Amino acid sequence: MSAALGGRGGLSINLATIREQCDMSEAVDACLRHSISAISPWRDQIAAIGLDTAARLVREHDLTVTGVCRGGMFTASDAAGRRAAIDDNMRAIDEAASLNADCLVLVVGGLPDGSRDIAGARQMVTDGIGAVLDHARAAAVPLAIEPLHPMYAADRCCVNTLSQALDMCDTLAPGNGGDLGLAIDAYHVWWDPELAAQIARAGREGRILAHHICDWLVPTQDLLLDRGMMGDGIIDLSGFRDMIEKAGFSGHQEVEIFSAENWWKRDADLVLETCIARYRAI
């Protein structure tokens, strides 16, 4: 059955897409019902069923884990907070290793409470990733910085362009694309005037570790929870995938949709059927 979902790198389901309907065990069952054998779970979903159970599911069903979401959140207003974030990322790396994940996705954090210093926040991110990189290497878990849309720069992620994320990689792990790279989510970067050039650069530097898809709706009703199913919005996802493949990445397309008012309210099987149909259409 997997051939039916092959081509264009195969389909992976980020389990946030059906998080309101299913716990991780139920989500895996649902994916398997639809011949989907690649997933990306969130840490709270792993914790809810226990890491051992999650790892057993992955082994028993020979699942591909295209990423674990998420590490990061390195920015904090004091040293204790930053230390706690580093410790938490160490644990996240271990969890990703237990699931044999392709990468640990990093959503790096926004401005610390009360801060207006985005340059300072970005330095905290560089420092934080630097502090966990050796542990990630030892665990053979590549770290994937995910540049988030600039509308999240204040409260969630101060790395907002491919260029910026690649510069950070070059600083921390020069010439070492396998250990530190990017999760490239079409939703976050489709608008970037440098999109084609920076995807090509990411490929040249061996830094494309994951490719996430969903769609940008017009109008978008909520900054966080109104992402669209592929085909319902305005992103040229086929052209985007062409750039990704031309840059040398042939891995999965991972569907990640936060949709409080639409897809999270629908039956999980219907959501997965729709993901498959739309994935095939693009």
Applying CB under 8 A, the residues found at the interface with a copy of itself are: 111, 115-118, 122, 149-151, 153-155, 158, 160-161, 163-164, 190-193, 216, 218-220, 223, 233-236, 239
Give me the least distance between CB of 44 and a copy of itself, in Å please: 21
**Phi first, then psi: what are they for 189, rounded to 5°?**
-125, 0
Give me the least distance between CB of 218 and a copy of itself, in Å please: 5
Give me the least distance between CB of 124 and a copy of itself, in Å please: 15
**CA atoms 11, 210, 96, 142: torsion sign:** positive
Give me the least distance between CB of 234 and a copy of itself, in Å please: 5
Which of residues 84 and 225 has its CB atom nearest to a copy of itself in the complex? 225
Which of residues 113 and 273 has its CB atom nearest to a copy of itself in the complex? 113
Which of residues 192 and 205 has its CB atom nearest to a copy of itself in the complex? 192
Give me the least distance between CB of 154 and a copy of itself, in Å please: 5
Q: Which two tokens stand for residue 24?
A: 């991780």
**Phi first, then psi: what are they for 109, rounded to 5°?**
110, 155
Question: H or E segment at 40?
Answer: strand 38-40
Which of residues 100 and 163 has its CB atom nearest to a copy of itself in the complex? 163
Which of residues 94 and 170 has its CB atom nearest to a copy of itself in the complex? 170
Q: Which of 253, 281, 278 is nearest to 14 (CA)?
A: 253
CA 267 to chain centre: 23
Which of residues 175 and 219 has its CB atom nearest to a copy of itself in the complex? 219
Task: For helices 237-246 and 195-204, give the axis angle rounded to 10 degrees.
Answer: 30
Rounded-to-integer distance, Cα 210 and Cα 201, Å: 15
Contact 148, 156 (CB under 8 A): yes
Contacts of 60 (CB under 8 A, 6+ apart): none
Q: Which of 199, 276, 205 is nearest to 245 (CA)?
A: 199
Rounded-to-integer distance, Cα 95 and Cα 122, Å: 25
Give me the least distance between CB of 219 and a copy of itself, in Å please: 7
**CA atoms 246, 194, 163, 91: torsion sign:** negative
Give me the least distance between CB of 222 and a copy of itself, in Å please: 9
Which of residues 42 and 240 has its CB atom nearest to a copy of itself in the complex? 240
